[in-house]
Structure formats: structure tokens, C-alpha cells
Amino acid sequence: MNMNKPTLLVLAAGMASRYGSLKQMDGVGPNGEAIIDYSIYDAIRAGFGKVVFVIRHQFEESFKAAFPPSRFGGKIDVEYVFQELECIPKGFSVPEGRVKPWGTNHAIMMSSKVIDEPFAVINADDFYGSEAFKTMAQYLRGLQGRENQYCMVGYCLKNTLSDFGTVSRGECMVDNEGNLTGVVERLGVKRLGNGTVVYEENGQHKPIDENATVSMNMFGFTPDYFRHSDAMFRQFLSSPANMANPKSEFFIPLAVNTLINNGTAKMKVLRSGSQWFGVTYVDDKPDVEAKIRALIRQGEYPAKLW
């Protein structure tokens, strides 16, 4: 493997409660392609050399049957790692009654033994667009051998809304050098009938700029991030409040904010003009299928990917 090729880490362990099925494997393309397939296709074109899927043992068989290494025609190396509740550092134990996984940054940590090059992180069920992968790959290639210099692809808020319900979005605060200073979670984001985009806070609608930069969980890291994550996760598990709350999660923005705020790392915000889309609600699926058909008509993707 060419060591200058970044790796793509796909977070596919989360079971979708609102959607009610393993939506990561749902076909949205004309030949049954899932959203993951389009991400892998874009990653190969952008020059990624390996894809690592974070999954769970409970659906390992069906996932590997849907996405075997042979599916991608030998164009990219494939690895699978597992996120399970009991995957925690020695000296800690899973609280009684806990069933919820430990969150997205815990999922990243599961790949530490198979990644030792700059890598990108994406959600399995989000469509990021080819431009985002090209931008990310180009930046990651420049991080070879460096530490504490991360990046993320920021999207224009208006390109990430659902027509079928509210969404949560992380609004990115950026300094004059284009580095992230923090992510503020905005809940209940939607477009009103008058065209204004709002979020919900304390039961009230508050306006938000539709051109605000938001995070869609497309991050780029160097391998030192695993070391930092391990230390932060130990702190997370040492908190009685986190252990007492069966829904507490160790999220990527939480870890990133910590490293930025204490001066350990910098995160460059790379802008993408791509249209992001995902299947948050069941009603989103026909909309996603239509958008992919339109991209095929425009020549962005072949009708049959593999």
C-alpha cells in the first residue's frame, strides 16, 4: 500500500432508532447501491487507499455479505473493526443496565490497530459528494508524518436540511486563519414557511444564517488522535455523572472541542459546496434516490457503480 494514501474510516455501528432498520445497507441507487457505495466510489477516485468499517458483531454477517472486499473490485483495501460496549480500558466496567454504545469518538478508537496514516471519518448513512472527498484527500496527503493538525469538511447549512422533519447540526465557529474554534450544537433546525431557517432553544425558535458552516461529521485526523482519544475516554469514564447516565456518549465534537480549547491541536475547516444528504427519516429515502438519479444523469456517477 502506498503510505501516502489516506484511509477512510466509515462509522457504521450505530443502529438507527428513528429509521427503524439497518439503514446503512439500504439501496438508494438504481442497482441497489447504498449511500456507503457512493462514498467508497468517491474515496477511490480521490485517492484513498483503504477503507475501515466500524460495525457491530450482531450484524457482522449481513454487513460483510452486503459489503465484502470483492465488491470494490480490488480498488481499495478493506478492513472491519467492531464497536462493542465492553471495549473499554482496563480498570473500568460497563455500568449495569447500559445498552447504548459509547458514541462516535469511541467508534473511532476501535480502529487504532489498523490505521497508522492520516485518515478521514464519515458516517455510513450520509452522502457527502465527490468534491468533499477530493478536498479531504488532498489535505490529508499533506499531513503525512505530522501531529495535532486535523481538518474537517464544513457544509453550508442550507445544503443539509431535510424536507421531512427537524435536524440537529453542529454550527462551526472559525477564526481568521480558517481554524475551528468550537462547535455549537443546534437542535430542531428547520426551514419555516416564510423561508427563514431556525433552531430550537428553550422551546423557542431562534433564527440561524442559512449560509452558516456546519459539521456533518466528516473529519480528518493524524494517528496521534488515537492516543489523545484514549486519554480523554478514560476521563469520560472516570466521571460519575457519565457513568450514571445510560445515554451519555463520547462524541467526536466533544473530543475535538477539548483538544482545540486546551491548545493541543488545530483543526482546519475546509469548505465544501457539495449538497449533503442523508436518510434521517423514512420519507427522505425517495428524495435521496431522486438526487442520486439526477447526479447520474449529470454524469457524476455511472448508473452501475461496481
Strand partners, 77: 50
Is residue 16 very low, low, confident or very high in pLDDT (cuts 50, 70, 90)? Answer: very low
Q: How many CA atoms lie within 13 A of 288 on its CB side?
A: 30
Considering only the C-alpha atoms of the chain, give the largest distance between any 2 of them, rounded to a whole number of Å: 55
Name every residue whose Cβ is closer than 8 Å to that of residue 190 and which is 6 or more positions away in sequence: 161, 162, 165, 166, 167, 197, 198
- The rounded percent of the chain whose pLDDT value lies above 90 is 80
Residue 250 has pLDDT above 90, yes or no: yes
Strand partners, 272: 155
Is residue 20 very low, low, confident or very high in pLDDT (cuts 50, 70, 90)? Answer: very low
For residue range 54-79, list pLDDT tens digits in order: 999 988 888 899 899 999 999 999 99
Residue 300 has pLDDT above 60, yes or no: yes
Residue 193 CB coordination number (10 Å): 5
Angle subtended by helix axes 35-46 and 130-141, to nearest 10: 40
Q: Are strands 77-82 and 50-55 parallel, antiparallel or unpaired?
A: parallel
> What is the residue extent of each domain of the chain?
7-297
Predicted pLDDT at 21: 52
Residue 28 has pLDDT above 80, yes or no: yes
Question: Average of pLDDT values for 34-47?
Answer: 96
Options 3.40.1390.10, 3.10.20.340, 3.90.550.10, 2.60.40.10; CATH for 7-297 is 3.90.550.10
Is residue 24 very low, low, confident or very high in pLDDT (cuts 50, 70, 90)? Answer: low
- The rounded percent of the chain whose pLDDT value lies above 70 is 95
Predicted pLDDT at 2: 54
Across the chain, what does the average pLDDT equal? 92
Is residue 283 very low, low, confident or very high in pLDDT (cuts 50, 70, 90)? Answer: confident
Q: Are strands 126-127 and 277-278 parallel, antiparallel or unpaired?
A: antiparallel
Question: Average of pLDDT values for 7-33?
Answer: 74
Question: Average of pLDDT values for 205-216?
Answer: 95
Question: Average of pLDDT values for 19-33?
Answer: 73
More confident call, 1 vs 240: 240
Predicted pLDDT at 4: 83
Residue-by-residue DSSP string for 71-84: GGTTSSEEEEEE--
Judged by DSSP in three states, 104 sits in helix
